[in-house]
Structure 1
């Protein structure tokens, strides 16, 4: 008997989502748009949480009445609080998808280093403010670049050290992954039925690669055309994490191909640093201190 690998997991395997509500941050382009599109096609009601509502409205028009647009600027905690206050009723799934990658040094409205503030702290605050209305799970997007990340608890916002855009991105995505793991630990400790998942898209063609405002934009453009998988394929790990019914909490989902750059979604591993319980707890406490958001667990 010849062994054969399992059939690739595609959007056709998404269970029916009728009656379910999903919030997707950054849903007006890239992975977020592909995630929202697949969920609406499967029957879900999707809240498009976007900074540019004009682009969000165009997406909602394409997706039909199952999609609604709400303004959310993750670089401004006032906006995060306003968004959360405007969500009525329960939410089955929150997909923390939006993000920035390798941008020049900047600050959010609250003074946070922009990548750490948007990718991690904004989503941390959003999750905490919605936690009492989430009924199923939280999915947080990380990256293979978490492997180069190092959490500097004394200077997370790069105020006393030299800014390096890729190091800052790596820290933010390691923080996202550690947040997903720590959130699951806290769900379990509280006896909650909620689950926390993480996912990464592999090497996917999105507009993140054209926002470094440097020569790297052109270089990455060439690499993407030659090696990257499509945005629709890159969204599959997040969709898997958001919809597979019996997926254990704490799962990290990524592509199954060479170096997890492309392929069908499956549970994957992460660095030893990402599983450091002491740093997970300390990072959580630092995030609560910076955002002034505590979770009702």
Structure 2
């Protein structure tokens, strides 16, 4: 996400090539979201309501979908901020159907409890947006389950959540999962050290999870097609966005934080950064197995386009190994 500028400016991880518009999406904005009334949507990490000049991508997703008539659930670990986000959305979309549910993706007990509550509703789920994410900390931290914190939140937690919600997704109407990744991803996935026990670097912690999420989006698509799950899987990245991700992660004094402050022209508003995810979640033209991102400035900013999938995300053997590892670590079976 916002860390993408570091790679482009410092000669680090190679970014994907510039995106291109797809037929019917050259000027796609929230005004083009099809009516969502009757559709149930879950957005993880949607509690980043506007604060100063920043807001969260998930909040913008939830706001746009609520305005379009969807029944929206915001799921995040911070009860106070989640409830405030709901109130902000209701203020901007009177009459919307939106609620908050507590979910800590870095705590598998919380993920299982959340899944049980959702399944108890006996209502299908039409859209799952796996959006929540944290940046790497300067020092390695572990979750309550003993997993590296960024890996636990960004990848393992979302994988386990998706497994918990599969029965509801398979009941949904043309159900979709959108996995939010990043313009900046790792060059390769360290399958023998997913939690960076041996060599922790905070930038790598984030980049690895974003490559993993893109691989999972594509692997889910392949498995859904082969097994007839009937659930579409898509991926999206927001380009470079001015959110609280860097301030809440490595901090404004980190390398990314200094770019965040000194190069504001690179960072587009969160509402614009949310467009590729919203396109993947709602557009009739969006293709299962597709990847979407901004199409301007080498994918940094602009309206949505079809993003080129980096070759390192197309390794099907590594994707299958990652899937098996996450099933084992999460104690789930995603199928």
Structures share a fold, TM > 0.5?
A: yes
SS at match of 1:241: helix
CA distance in 2, matches of 1:31, 1:204: 9
Shift of 1:151: 1.2
Note if contact 1:26-1:32 (Cα within 8 Å) is conserved in structure 2. yes
Note if contact 1:187-1:193 (Cα within 8 Å) is conserved in structure 2. yes
Note if contact 2:251-2:257 (Cα within 8 Å) is conserved in structure 1. no
What TM-score, normalized by structure 1, do the two folds share? 0.94
Paired residue for 1:97?
Answer: 131
Paired residue for 1:130?
Answer: 165
Moved over 4 A (4+): none
Alignment of structure 1 residues 208-247 onto 2, 5 Å = 208-210=245-247, 211-213=249-251, 215-216=253-254, 218-223=257-262, 225-247=264-286
Show structure 2 runs of 5+ residues with no match.
1-23, 49-55, 91-95
1:74 aligns to 2:74 (yes or no): no
CA distance in 2, matches of 1:79, 1:273: 32
Note if contact 1:182-1:281 (Cα within 8 Å) is conserved in structure 2. yes
Shift of 1:194: 1.2
Match of 2:191 among 141, 145, 153: 153
CA distance in 1, matches of 2:286, 2:25: 17
Paired residue for 2:288?
Answer: 249
Shift of 1:273: 1.2
What TM-score, normalized by structure 2, do the two folds share? 0.83
Paired residue for 2:77?
Answer: 51
Match of 2:323 among 284, 294, 297: 284
Change (3 A) 1:149 1:112: farther
SS at match of 1:255: strand
1:120 aligns to 2:158 (yes or no): no
CA distance in 1, matches of 2:151, 2:273: 22
SS at match of 2:302: coil
Change (3 A) 1:145 1:6: closer
Change (3 A) 1:124 1:277: same
Change (3 A) 1:99 1:149: farther
Paired residue for 2:15?
Answer: none
SS at match of 1:144: coil
CA distance in 2, matches of 1:121, 1:269: 25
SS at match of 2:41: strand
Show structure 1 runs of 5+ residues with no match.
none
Higher relative contact order structure (alpha carbons within 8 Å, sequence separation ≥ 6): 2
SS at match of 1:152: coil
CA distance in 1, matches of 2:117, 2:181: 27
Shift of 1:193: 2.1
Shift of 1:244: 0.9
CA distance in 1, matches of 2:25, 2:276: 16
Shift of 1:99: 0.1
Paired residue for 1:168?
Answer: 205
Match of 1:17 among 36, 39, 49: 36
Alignment of structure 1 residues 185-200 onto 2, 5 Å = 185-200=222-237
CA distance in 1, matches of 2:235, 2:158: 13
